[in-house]
């Protein structure tokens, strides 16, 4: 009898061990599957497994019932998790799964007094011709030829009518008057490459529609520095050209250029004191044909250096500047993630496209190592930085690029040039009104949620 009891205990122990092992494999499989499905820019892998394991507790109480508990700030919903399990055949379709009661704040709109715990960068695009676009190009007289696609002859307008809808919560519709009130007496400074200039034009047009035209002042010093001022509100939105964030300059007595990896761009003193700072970098580090001849670090010139090593040094220099200079009680810092491209050599070319990509497994080719460098650097900073993670949601929008309805070197493409899309199509920048408006809507949602 005693040996029988021991045998039963041993068998129970063995079954529990097997169940634990199988549960771990299920979680690992689902994590990998979900990472591939969403194209998470963190690169997936083991870190995603631990995130999923920490977020979900699935307890198999019997062969036919699963109890499911989860915290309130999940990046994936319990319903989607369960659906994936059943679709993959890991759980029988007849299995009953008990969910925790849904919190009322899970569906609560984002407003000035409460911040909803959901990932506003995960969701879907919804065609909304009634509410979008948020402004019209002909009502924004300073919109540049580079991004004014309708003025340059684009015949379709569907790309203007798509609205971003996050999963699990609502974001407020952009309210220009409310935004101006929140910015009263304040400065917004946007620093980066031409994609951030794209975002500056978008935000300026969004605000322009809510003020009297006679009470707006727009100044431009070429394409390197642009200022939008709403005089009645005493606020400004400025753009500073700095594609590397660090300094690129010509060597004295030579036409060689040196990229100083540990020194911020020469305009950095003019960024200081802003109430909102929006940064980006990345594209110029991957352009074909180097924009520099030498790197400089700690006063020493280096002719060759791995791109990721140089990029990491520059991003860290930016982070140190932010930690040293920015007062987080007065300034909110955003870093916008990579704006994806849809060039001809990629799987989804932007030419002649009028609808978003619907294949959720589509993954862009931009170097993920550079994305991880930015994310890890931000995580280690003392100053809070809000990561404007627009990469994935923008990857779907192959239809929203300027394509052949744009300008090159200040001149709108001619008919002959438009007939050569393989040579002239711009699949990097975005038409306005269009996708960058959503980037600014998400900044607005973040600001509203902060107060």
Residues 46, 125, single domain; the answer is no
Domain that holds residue 441: 109-450
Residues 93, 210, single domain; the answer is no
Is the CB of residue 348 less than 8 Å from the CB of residue 358? no
Give the pLDDT score at 25: 56
Q: Give dist(CA 43, CA 118) in Å, integer.
A: 20
Find the mean pLDDT for residues 95-107: 43
From 394, 429, 437, 446, active-site residue: 429
pLDDT tens per residue, range 193-240: 999 999 999 999 999 999 999 999 999 988 899 999 999 999 999 999
Q: Give dist(CA 216, CA 212) in Å, integer.
A: 7
Residues 291, 224, single domain; the answer is yes
Q: Give dist(CA 163, CA 133) in Å, integer.
A: 9
Per-residue tokens: 352: 């002649």
What 3-state DSSP class applies to 68? strand
Residues 46, 136, single domain; the answer is no
Residues 264, 396, single domain; the answer is yes
Find the mean pLDDT for residues 8-36: 53
Does the pLDDT at position 101 exceed 70? no
194 is catalytic: yes
Confidence of residue 77 (pLDDT cuts 50, 70, 90): very low
Question: Is pTM, for the whole model, over 0.85?
Answer: no
From 48, 399, 426, 437, active-site residue: 426
Cα Rg of the chain, angstroms: 25
Q: Give dist(CA 371, CA 344) in Å, integer.
A: 22
Per-residue tokens: 91: 């759980």
Residues 15, 52, single domain; the answer is yes
Residues 263, 405, single domain; the answer is yes
Q: What is the maximum span of the chain, computed from C-alpha positions, in angstroms?
A: 96
Closest CA to 341 of 425, 419, 405: 425
Q: What percentage of residues in the chain have a pLDDT greater than 70? A: 72
Does the pLDDT at position 348 exceed 80? yes
Cβ neighbours, 10 Å, residue 361: 8
**Torsion from C-alpha of 4, 8, 11, 12, nearest 10 degrees:** -170
Find the mean pLDDT for residues 2-18: 51
Is the CB of residue 117 less than 8 Å from the CB of residue 105? yes
Does the pLDDT at position 257 exceed 50? yes
Q: Which residue has the tokens 């999963």?
A: 167
**Total tally of structural domains belonging to the chain:** 2
Of 73, 102, 131, the one marking the end of a domain is: 102
Of 102, 134, 153, the one marking the end of a domain is: 102
Ranking 42-51, 55-64, 145-154 by mean pLDDT, the lowest is 42-51
Confidence of residue 346 (pLDDT cuts 50, 70, 90): confident
Does the pLDDT at position 102 exceed 60? no
Residues 87, 213, single domain; the answer is no
426 is catalytic: yes
What is the CA 225 to chain-centroid distance, rounded?
23
DSSP classification of residue 201 = H
Q: What percentage of residues in the chain have a pLDDT greater than 90? A: 60
Give the pLDDT score at 17: 56
Residues 116, 91, single domain; the answer is no
pLDDT tens per residue, range 154-194: 999 999 999 999 998 889 999 999 999 999 999 999 999 99
Residues 113, 98, single domain; the answer is no
Angle at which helix 368-380 crosses helix 307-325, to 10 degrees, equals 30
Distances (CA, A) of 336 to 42, 129, 245, 269, 431: 14, 27, 13, 21, 18
Give the pLDDT score at 306: 92
Residues 79, 97, single domain; the answer is yes
Of 71, 102, 133, the one marking the end of a domain is: 102
401 is catalytic: no
Does the pLDDT at position 318 exceed 70? yes
Whole-number average pLDDT of the chain: 80
Does the pLDDT at position 368 exceed 90? no
Q: Give dist(CA 430, CA 419) in Å, integer.
A: 20
Does the pLDDT at position 426 exceed 90? yes
From 35, 40, 48, 194, active-site residue: 194
Confidence of residue 76 (pLDDT cuts 50, 70, 90): very low
Residues 117, 200, single domain; the answer is yes
Does the pLDDT at position 57 exceed 50? no
pLDDT tens per residue, range 284-296: 988 766 788 889 9
């Amino acid at each position: 009898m005693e040996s029988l009891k021991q045998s039963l205990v041993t068998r129970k122990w063995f079954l529990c061990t097997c169940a634990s092992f199988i549960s771990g494999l299920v979680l690992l499989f689902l994590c990998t599957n979900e990472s591939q499905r969403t194209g998470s820019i963190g690169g997936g892998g083991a870190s995603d497994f631990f995130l999923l394991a920490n977020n979900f507790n699935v307890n198999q109480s019997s062969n036919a019932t699963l109890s499911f508990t989860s915290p309130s700030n999940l990046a994936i919903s319990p319903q989607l998790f369960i659906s994936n399990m059943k679709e993959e055949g890991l759980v029988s379709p007849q299995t009953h799964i008990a969910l925790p009661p849904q919190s009322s704040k899970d569906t609560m709109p984002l407003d000035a007094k409460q911040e909803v715990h959901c990932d506003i960068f995960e969701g879907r695009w919804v065609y909304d011709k009634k509410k979008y676009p948020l402004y019209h190009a002909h009502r924004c007289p300073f919109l540049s030829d580079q991004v004014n696609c309708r003025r340059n002859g684009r015949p379709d307008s569907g790309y203007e009518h798509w609205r971003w809808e996050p999963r699990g919560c609502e974001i407020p519709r952009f309210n220009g008057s409310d935004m101006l009130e929140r910015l009263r007496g304040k400065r917004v400074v946007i620093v980066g490459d031409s994609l951030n200039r794209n975002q500056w034009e978008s935000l300026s047009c969004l605000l322009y529609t809510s003020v009297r035209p006679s009470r707006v002042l727009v100044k431009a010093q070429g394409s390197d520095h642009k200022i939008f001022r709403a005089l009645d509100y005493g606020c400004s939105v400025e753009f500073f050209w700095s594609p590397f964030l660090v300094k690129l300059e010509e060597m004295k007595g030579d036409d060689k250029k040196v990229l100083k990896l540990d020194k911020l761009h020469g305009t950095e003193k003019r960024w200081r004191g802003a109430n909102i700072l929006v940064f980006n970098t990345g594209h110029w580090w991957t352009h074909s044909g180097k924009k520099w001849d030498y790197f400089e670090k700690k006063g020493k010139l280096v002719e060759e250096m791995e791109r990721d090593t140089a990029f990491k040094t520059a991003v860290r220099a930016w982070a140190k500047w932010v930690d040293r200079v920015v007062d987080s009680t007065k300034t909110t810092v955003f870093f916008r993630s990579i704006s994806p491209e849809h060039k001809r050599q990629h799987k989804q070319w932007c030419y002649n496209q009028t609808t978003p990509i619907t294949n959720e497994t589509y993954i862009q080719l931009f170097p993920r190592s550079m994305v991880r460098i930015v994310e890890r650097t931000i995580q280690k900073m003392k100053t809070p930085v809000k990561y404007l993670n627009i990469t994935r949601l923008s990857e779907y929008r192959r239809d929203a690029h300027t394509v052949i309805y744009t300008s090159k070197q200040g001149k709108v493409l001619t008919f002959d040039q438009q007939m050569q899309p393989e040579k002239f199509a711009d699949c990097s920048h975005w038409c306005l009104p269009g996708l960058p408006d959503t980037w600014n809507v998400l900044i607005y949602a973040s600001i509203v949620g902060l107060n």
